[in-house]
Amino acid sequence: MLENLYNKLINWYLPILAFIFIIAIWQILSIMNLFEPWLLPSPSAIFLEFLDSTSFLLYHMSVTGYEIILGLSLAVILGIILGFSMTLSKVLERSILPYVIASQVIPIFALAPILIVWFGAGLLSKIIVVFLISFFPICIGVFDGLNKKNNEMENMLKTMGASTYQIYSLLKIKLALPSFFSGLKVAAVSSVIGAVVAEWIGSKAGLGWIMKVSGPLFQTERVFASIFLLSLFASVLFLSVKIIEKKLIKGVY
Amino acid sequence: MKKNIILEKIYYSFNNEAPIINNLSFEFPSGQTIAILGHSGCGKSTLLQMISGILKPISGNITIDNNKDLLGNISYMQQNDLLFPWLTVKENVLLPLKILGDKSQSSYDDVIEKSKILGINEYIDFYPNELSGGLKQRAAFLRTIIQRSEFILLDEPFASLDAITRMELYIWLEQLKKYIKKSIILVTHDIDEAIFLSDKVIIMGSGKNNFRFQKDISMPHPRSSNINMSSEFLEIRKDLYCRLEEVR
């Protein structure tokens, strides 16, 4: 029971207490007028902005969220297919891997404007940017995970007469899951950055677009409200991946 | 029809170094338990891996009933239990049947019946990390014997267990032999284990003439724990010890 309470304290109460403490200090410093409100608005001003513009902010969050979910889903599908293909033969690995690495080396800030010129300022260019930023960790996670060897277990399945398909479905995929989920967690957080970068460079909606247009207008409360919503979205995405991971990899570690 | 395993002039070496198995020919008859006894590194496990089909001999043939396709036809239990930690004991044990696509109720009932004989029926829904070393080995053993092959290869399956648990498992195995009626090739470096469980002990050395000495063990089955105090047992042990010393 004590251990349970300790775990709850570490996992939930301490982060919440730390958050309340930082907000309280920030609010006190704001009341003391230690910095200009247009430079750093107080937490209460940001909260009021939430209340005043709830539907506006939620609409733009849904736009960004849609881009992230579509881009990330595409990255998961293609990441798994390419990661798996590279484990099938050395020829495929040598043909594909350099381009997978290259996709990560190009700075997304350099690539995003070209993609917007090619695919327009609509949804497609955002999905491609999110895909490019989140594809690499997933693909490498799948590739590394499937390359993990447990020769003894594999040999045991062979002596039972298991086919290559059965060796993958009964053993290799299970062993690859921790590596895949590590990549997916990194990708989930990076995908939010990708969507904001894409919206920043060329769009007419989304939280990235709000931040871009609100900054020069000194609507810093709105910028901070957008940042808070983005952080919240990234956290929910990360936690969702963790929950699925916990269910699927039971016993693998 | 009885199936024998036949080794014909098999040769194996690691990285083209001195051969560990050199021109070995032998016929393992069905219906018997044969123990291969030898020092560490003499090639016992390599030989079992070749008989199981995991390793291919550099030259020579291994056949079972004139069939060179060994994978899937011979059961092989390695030193570690190799239970999948994400599956329950029941799911682990049923793995060979799942691979064969056998979902019949009769096969499932047979597994449950054998799990009772091995004393693990109460733990069938547990995960491996919830079991002791002895229970894990029993589960791994059950998984090995439910395979349809006539031959079972055991590679030092009890080496990691304490003396009491090991003796318990010897007795379980002796009881179980009546039901499973399978041929066993047991690799071990424990003289007592070899005598207790087998009908014949082979002393193995590396290099030329791998099977240096063979001795039939005629004590009746099922053997009990006090047999290793008998004069016959002690006499065989002394003889095998001297033979092992010569092979070193």
Minimal C-alpha gap between A146 and chain B (Å): 17
Output the pLDDT for position B90: 93
Instruction: Please state, rounded to an integer, the average pLDDT across all residues of chain B.
Output: 89
B79 is a domain residue: no
Tell me which chain A residue has its CA closest to the CA of residue B85: A251
Q: Which residues pair with B76 in a beta bridge?
A: B153
Contacts of A161 in chain B (CB under 8 A): 71-73, 96, 99-100
In terms of domains, do B221 and B164 share one? yes
In terms of domains, do B181 and B239 share one? yes
What does the pLDDT look like over A164-176, one tens digit per residue?
Answer: 999 999 999 999 9
Contacts of A162 in chain B (CB under 8 A): 99
Spatial distance between the Cα atoms of B189 and B247, rounded to a whole number of angstroms: 13
- The answer, for A251 touching chain B at a CB cutoff of 8 Å, is yes
B12 is a domain residue: yes
- The answer, for B86 touching chain A at a CB cutoff of 8 Å, is yes
In terms of domains, do B114 and B237 share one? no
In terms of domains, do B99 and B221 share one? no
In terms of domains, do B157 and B139 share one? no
Spatial distance between the Cα atoms of B13 and A251, rounded to a whole number of angstroms: 38
Domain A41-248, CATH class in plain words: mainly alpha
**CB-CB under 8 Å, B87 with A160:** no
Instruction: Indicate which CATH number applies to the domain containing B198.
Output: 3.40.50.300
Maximum alpha-carbon separation in chain B:
52
Interface test with A, best of B69, B83, B99 (most A CBs within 10 A): B99
Which A-chain residues 130-189 have CB contacts (< 8 A) with chain B? 152-153, 155-162, 166, 170-171, 174
In terms of domains, do B168 and B136 share one? no
B78 is a domain residue: no
Question: What ipTM is given for this predicted complex?
Answer: 0.88
Please spell the DSSP secondary structure of B111-127, one letter per residue.
HHHHHHHTT-GGGTTS-
Number of domains making up chain B = 2
Contacts of A249 in chain B (CB under 8 A): 86
Contacts of B80 in chain A (CB under 8 A): 152
Of B148, B170, B193, which residue sits at a domain end? B148
Q: Where are the domains positioned within chain A? A: 1-34, 41-248
What does the pLDDT look like over A12-70, one tens digit per residue?
Answer: 788 889 989 999 999 999 999 888 888 888 999 999 998 988 899 999 999 999 999 99
Spatial distance between the Cα atoms of A165 and B42, rounded to a whole number of angstroms: 35
Of B129, B148, B167, which residue sits at a domain end? B148
B89 is a domain residue: yes
Q: What residues make up the domain containing B43?
A: 5-73+150-247
Minimal C-alpha gap between B144 and chain A (Å): 9
What contacts B141, CB < 8 A, 6 or more positions away? Answer: B77, B118, B157, B169, B173
Burial of A38 (0-12, 13-18, 19+ CB in 10 A): exposed
What does the pLDDT look like over B157-176, one tens digit per residue?
Answer: 888 888 888 898 898 888 88
